[in-house]
Amino acid sequence: MTPDLVTEIGRQALETMMLVSAPMLGLSLVVGLLISLFQAMTQINEATLSFVPKILAIFVATLLFFPWMLSTLIAFTTNLLGNIPQYVR
């Protein structure tokens, strides 16, 4: 294995990780901004108010995007394991 190949595998792993986590992080960001906007408009200064909606949003995003996330991770893993003979050379 060359250093370039290891770098490429690491890049693909990070890219896949960011792609798979993007829906949950994005929805959490939107919910957090909406809760912050609500807190600013009503002047409610409760720090724990945003935790429950964010957790629920992440749970819903996980349920909605789980099939896509699973297929993306399976494709990455299948590609990685299928190319082991080429990596050994």
pLDDT for 26: 94
Is pLDDT at 27 greater than 90 in this prediction? yes
Average pLDDT of span 17-24: 95
- pLDDT band for position 3 (cuts 50, 70, 90): confident
**What distance in Å separates the CA atoms of residue 22 and residue 3, rounded to the nearest whole number?**
28
CA angle 61, 59, 73 (to 5 degrees): 60
**Tens of pLDDT, residues 34-79:** 998 998 898 888 878 888 889 999 999 999 999 999 999 999 999 9
Contact 50/36 with Cβ under 8 angstroms? yes
0.95 surpassed by pTM: no
Q: What are the structural domain ranges in the chain?
A: 3-84
